[in-house]
Amino acid sequence: MSTAPAAVAAPAKSSGGFTGKAANYLDERTSISGAVKEFGRKIFPDHWSFLLGEVALYSFVVILLSGTFLTFFFDAAMTHTTYEGSYAPMNGVHMSAAMASTLDISFDIRGGLLMRQVHHWAALLFVASIGLHMLRVFFTGAFRKPREINWVIGFVLFILAMAEGFTGYSLPDDLLSGNGLRIIDGMIKSFPLVGTWISFLLFGGEFPGEDIVGRLYSLHIMILPAMVILFIALHLVFLIVHKHTQYPGPGRTEQNVVGFPILPVYAAKAGGFFFIVFGVIMATATFFQINPIWNYGPYDPSPVSAGTQPDWYIGFADGMLRLAPPHLEFVWLDRTWSFGILLPVIILGLFIVTVLIYPFIEAWVTGDKREHHLLDRPRNAPTRTAIGAAGVTFYAVMWAAASSDLIATHFRVTMEGVIHTLQALLFLGPVIAYFVTKRICLGLQKKDREIALHGYETGRIVRLPGGEYIEVHEQVSDYERWELVSYKDQAPIMLRPNAQGKITGSMRLRAAMSRWFFEDRIAPVTQTELDKSHGDDHH
């Protein structure tokens, strides 16, 4: 890498002691000093919401550590065996080697149950923190140029995390996870043309067969983790290339990043935070049981427990399946089209794709080619925030549907009533959420504007000489005001003919989208308005 003369390359300090000598040895062979110079004092901005992505990263490290331990003891085979371990109620029960070895990890290996629980809790936290991190990125507009591709990479990680979760959940070959696989098998079989054969190949013959656990194991510990690591690496490379976004504030601009250097402050804080996340997972695994497969028993196609639930992150998909109305199946061209399953799958697919491509949609609507490194406060992008709220509501309704039976039994209402209500909410909920959120955002913007121009209410009522009562308003400081007025504003497009004098369909669509996004807007306070209002206050 370096072609610098030897005299410069050698460290200046000759009396560096052991550390100096070791550093010199390393640098002469790796040119590592360049990396230290480059990244050692790199600045990261501070905000609690930036920790959500860190939680995801650290819980993945915990998953890798605990998962590696588990691989040393787990036997990913469906060979029939008779359980003879310590758990007396299962003694003599026929089960697969996978289930038996999971019971052994839980009851015969010291700390084994703890590691299983660490692994499972960390996995639940991994998906949850990715989800929250995505919400933070969405609602602050952090996905805008130049970070659109990193949004896609992060989204792929979200999908991979769910795939990791589901494959891992299925490995113990217990009754609950076996029913989960049964559902997956049923869904795959419904796919036109290829479904039957995909199921046949995946399960190595008929369901359940004796291959699926071993195959999911290959995916779970090799292919999927390799992909997760690759995509995390890409995600972080782009984080370095783009430098982190920051919230608007005094002194912060699109051209700078204000915060603390990696060495030493960020290394200490982020390094410490890793151990805190690990510690919280460890504490949860110490005190709270998760996935007690010994209560479910080995997989058998016949029994099933009432109130079966998947792990939380699969809930939205399971719930969507429940919301399909009956009889959506027909025979056409002598083939079976099972829309009872295909329709939910298509809706889920559309939802996922919309989330995936949202940055590109918004970029197209605004036509904004600038780089955006200052985040939006959610209120300052009312339409985006409202769309986000609608999406969250849509997801939440599907998720709630995955517990429709439990909602019915706990609240003593009819199951049909719960499903019908959720079916209606699936469509109405997002619409209501959209309008309510948009109005709240605009209201908050108006309030910000009011405070920026006229200060805040002090609660002090003063009687003027003429008898009039007024409440005294106090001006906010320049720094506080800056946070209220410094947002970027978008206006709707004026539809104008292009160079050929034509208005194309896509131009019309874009103009309509732009009106939808930006017609209701509260413009930021200008300097003139500010000067004028301050003048007024001197009366």
Partner 1 sequence: MAQDANSGKDLAAANSSSHDLVPEDSGTGVVSPDAVKNPGHPEHRKRVTDLDPKKEKQAERTVFVLFFLSAVGSLWAVAAYMMFPIDGQMELVRSNNLFIGLGATLALMALGIGAVHWGKAIMADHESVDERHPVRGTDETRARAIEIFEEANEESGFGRRALIRNSLIGALVVFPLPAVALFRGLAPYDEDPVELLQHTMWKKGTRLARDPSGVPIKASDVTLGSAFHVIPEDLNTAKDVLNEKAKAIVLLMRLKPEDLNELPERKNWSYNGIVAYSKVCTHVGCPVALYEQQTHHLLCPCHQSQFDVANHATVIFGPAARPLPQLPIEVDDEGYLVAQSDFTEPVGPSFWERH
Per CB under 8 A, which of residues 43..62 are in contact with partner 1?
Answer: 43
What is the smallest separation between the CB atom of 295 and partner 1, expressed in angstroms?
Answer: 14
Q: Give 371 or 457: the residue with its C-beta nearer to partner 1.
A: 371
* The one segment of 132-140, 280-288, 429-437, 465-473 that binds partner 1 by CB under 8 A: 280-288
* The one segment of 387-395, 436-444, 455-463, 476-484 that binds partner 1 by CB under 8 A: 476-484
Q: Which two tokens stand for residue 24?
A: 């010199």
Near partner 1 in 178-217, by CB under 8 A? 179, 182-183, 185-187, 189-197, 199-211, 215
Q: Give 242 or 447: the residue with its C-beta nearer to partner 1.
A: 242
Cα distances (Å, whole numbers) of residue 166 to 120, 163, 180, 318, 457: 11, 5, 9, 12, 53
Length of the chain in residues, anyone?
539
Contact characters 79-108, partner 1, x per CB under 8 A: -------xxx-----------------xxx
Could you give the CA distance from residue 41 to residue 39 in angstroms, rounded to a whole number?
Answer: 6
Rg of the Cα trace of the chain?
29
Q: Which of 216, 321, 387, 390 binds partner 1 (CB under 8 A)?
A: 321
Q: Which of 55, 171, 228, 324 binds partner 1 (CB under 8 A)?
A: 324
Could you give the CA distance from residue 442 to residue 439 in angstroms, rounded to a whole number?
Answer: 5
Q: Give 436 or 454: the residue with its C-beta nearer to partner 1.
A: 454
269 near partner 1 (CB under 8 A): yes
Q: Count CA atoms closer than 13 A to 201's CA, side-chain side.
A: 6
Phi, psi of 482, rounded to the nearest 5 degrees: -55, -40
DSSP β-ladder status, 469-474 and 456-463: antiparallel
Q: Give 192 or 443: the residue with its C-beta nearer to partner 1.
A: 192
Q: Which two tokens stand for residue 180?
A: 């989960």
Q: Which of 8, 334, 468, 506 binds partner 1 (CB under 8 A)?
A: 334
346 near partner 1 (CB under 8 A): no
Could you give the CA distance from residue 20 to residue 22 in angstroms, rounded to a whole number?
Answer: 5
Count Cβ atoms below 10 Å from residue 350 Cβ, excluding itself. Answer: 10
Cβ-contact 158, 134 below 8 angstroms = yes
* The one segment of 17-25, 133-141, 154-162, 516-524 that binds partner 1 by CB under 8 A: 516-524
121 near partner 1 (CB under 8 A): no
Contact characters 10-39, partner 1, x per CB under 8 A: ---------------------------xx-
369 near partner 1 (CB under 8 A): yes
Q: Give 199 or 437: the residue with its C-beta nearer to partner 1.
A: 199
Q: At what angle do helices 382-401 and 339-366 cross, to 10 degrees?
A: 170
73 near partner 1 (CB under 8 A): no
Cβ-contact 270, 54 below 8 angstroms = yes
Cβ-contact 173, 99 below 8 angstroms = yes
